[in-house]
Amino acid sequence: MSASEPVLSVRNLTVEIGTRRGTARVVNDISYDVHRGETVAIVGESGSGKTVSALALMRLLPEPPARVGGRVLLDGVDLLRGSERELCRIRGHRIAMVFQDPMTSLNPVLTIGQQLVEPIRLHLPLTAGAARDRAVEMLHLVGIPAPRHRLDDYPHQFSGGMRQRVMIAMALACDPEVLIADEATTALDVTTQAQIVELVAGLQDRMGMAVVWITHDLGVVAGIADRVAVMYAGQVLEEAPVDALYEDPRHPYTTGLLASVPTPGIDRPHRLFAIPGLPPDPVALPPGCPFWDRCAVRGEPRAEFTPQPLRPVGSDHQVACSCAGPAARHG
Ligand SMILES: Nc1ncnc2c1ncn2[C@@H]1O[C@H](COP(=O)(O)OP(=O)(O)O)[C@@H](O)[C@H]1O
Ligand SMILES: [Mg+2]
């Protein structure tokens, strides 16, 4: 694989979910690439489709009620086309995910050791003893004190931060090429949050892993990501290198999001900004730009708005907005 080829390439991913109220278009034609050693952050308000898109690309959404379209290429192989058997060999091994809720993702009736050793034995050619050693090594790596003793403990014997570390150890146990971390630090206090961020970055440097860092908090992204994709109502509205996104945001939604988080180094004389209104209902998405109702710089009327494709506005910088001119910050 050449350095310029992405290890993970998400192409035109769509997810529709059948509900009693009708079909919800939850992920609407998103595309992004992640290169080896790179971190791409997927940022957006709660409900914007971040988790569903991650589950879809891991092929973890039950179909039906979900219907998944597009392509998800891992080193050129489409995960959405392979057999479930092939997927089982890849998932947890070459691409792994830290799930949003560690409290419910760990099995309460199995020890941490049992839960760690199982995927290691499934994917790596190790004896039971060697797999146990590997589990100890992983717990040590994620900063769990006295790991050999902790292997026989159950999840409830760990604090929230420690459980999150265990989840990360499980995801990293088989040296994945791609790690998807879905709100991996959201439930944690800021100190633990910072430790986990540092931990993943350190491991990434050592293992060359690519990371998709999913969060609703644009504030944490600055120190983590190389590139950022801003999601809204199932679409990517802006994608840019992290510095460009902070210094020269082009989409009115991105400027609104940035104004609503305290950003170090940027003076804000006024109170933090809150974008008025609510995201659209995925069962009844409006035609054209999904952000129009809440947009501070929108053109009138909506009927003139056709769906906005992402278009380049700078080096590696794309935006899906017809009125995205020079940045105009709120707040
Ligand atoms: N099983 C489901 N059935 C119907 N709608 C769902 C289901 N799961 C998620 N959704 C909807 O999909 C949208 C995106 O959800 P999600 O991906 O969890 O958002 P995020 O992770 O960005 O907070 C939301 O509108 C949510 O209500
Ligand atoms: Mg989520």
Residue 31: per-residue pLDDT: 94
Other beta carbons less than 10 A from residue 160's beta carbon: 13
Mean confidence (pLDDT) of the chain: 85
* 109 has a pLDDT exceeding 80: yes
In this prediction, residues 54-82 reach a mean pLDDT of: 92
What whole-number distance in Å separates Cα of residue 149 and Cα of residue 105?
22
Which ligand is nearest the CA of 26, by number?
A: 1
**Cα 293 versus chain centre, distance:** 26
Query: Which residues sit opposite 235 in a β-bridge?
Result: 232
Confidence of residue 294 (pLDDT cuts 50, 70, 90): confident
Q: Mutate which of 17, 23, 60, 218 to test ligand 1's pocket (most atoms within 8 Å of Cβ)?
A: 17
pLDDT band with cut points at 50, 70 and 90 for residue 278: confident
Q: By percentage, how much of the chain surpasses pLDDT 90?
A: 42
Quick one: pLDDT at residue 265? Answer: 58
Residue 74 forms beta bridges with which residues? 8, 77
Residue pair 279/232 in contact (Cβ under 8 Å)? The answer is: yes
104 close to ligand 1 (CB < 6 Angstrom): no
pLDDT number for residue 103: 66
- Å from CA of 114 to ligand 2 middle: 27
Over range 121-133, report the average pLDDT: 90
Measure 184 CA to ligand 1 centroid, in angstroms. 17
Pairwise CA distance, residues 261 & 11, whole Å = 30
Using the structure block, give the residue that is written with the tokens 């690439």: 33
Q: Is the CB of 180 under 6 A from ligand 1?
A: no
**How far is the centre of ligand 2, averaged over its atoms, from the C-alpha of 261 (Å)?**
19
CA atoms within 13 A on the CB side of 150: 23
- pLDDT of the residue at 154: 93
Q: Where are the alpha helices (DSSP H) in the chain?
A: 50-57, 84-90, 102-105, 112-123, 128-141, 147-150, 160-172, 190-207, 218-221, 242-247, 252-259
Task: Specify the pLDDT at position 185.
Answer: 78
Query: Does the C-beta of 19 come closer than 6 Å to ligand 1?
Result: yes
pLDDT at 135 exceeding the cut of 90: yes
Q: Name the band, by pLDDT with cuts 50, 70 and 90, for residue 304.
A: low
pLDDT number for residue 229: 96
The residue to mutate among 28, 52, 61, having the most atoms of ligand 1 within 8 angstroms of its beta carbon, is 52
Give the percent of the chain with pLDDT over 70: 90
Q: Using one digit for the tens of pLDDT, what is the confidence trace for 196-211?
A: 788 788 878 887 899 9
* pLDDT over 90 at 6, yes or no: yes
Q: How many angstroms is it from 155 CA to the middle of ligand 2?
A: 22
Q: Hey, which CATH number is domain 8-94+176-319, 2.60.40.10, 2.90.10.10, 1.10.3720.10, 3.40.50.300? A: 3.40.50.300
Q: Which of 25, 46, 51 has most ligand 1 atoms within 8 Å of its beta carbon, as the pocket-test mutant?
A: 51
Q: Mean pLDDT, to the nearest integer, of 224-228?
A: 93
The confidence score (pLDDT) of residue 89 equals 83
Ligand 1, atom 20, residue with closest C-alpha: 47
Would the CB of 51 count as within 6 Å of ligand 1?
yes
- Which of 30, 8, 191, 33 is closest to 90 using CA atoms? 8
Is pTM, for the whole model, over 0.85? yes
Residue ranges of domains in the chain: 8-94+176-319
Distance CA 179, CA 184 (A): 11
Average of per-residue pLDDT across 137-159: 90
How confident is the model over 16-38, as a mean pLDDT?
Answer: 93
Burial of 92-122, coded b for 16+ CB within 10 Å and e otherwise, reads: bbbbbbbbbebeebbeeeebbbebbbbbbbe
Neighbours of ion ligand 2 (CB under 5 A): 50-51
SS3 281: coil
Instruction: Tell me how far the alpha carbon of residue 40 lies from the centroid of ligand 2, in angstroms.
Output: 16
CA of 214 to the centre of ligand 2 (A): 8
Indicate the length of the chain as a whole number.
331
pLDDT confidence of residue 328: 40
Is 280's C-beta closer than 6 angstroms to any atom of ligand 1?
A: no
d(CA 28, CA 17): 12
Q: What is the DSSP string of 7-45?
A: SEEEEEEEEEEEETTEEEEEEEEEEEEE-TT-EEEEE--
Q: Is it the case that residue 277 has pLDDT exceeding 60?
A: yes
Say whether pLDDT at 80 is over 50. yes
Instruction: Assign 309 a pLDDT band (cuts: 50, 70, 90).
Output: confident
Is there a contact between 198 and 246 (Cβ–Cβ < 8 Å)? no
Residue 322 pLDDT > 90 = no
Which pLDDT does position 2 carry in this prediction? Answer: 44
What integer is the mean pLDDT of 118-143? 89
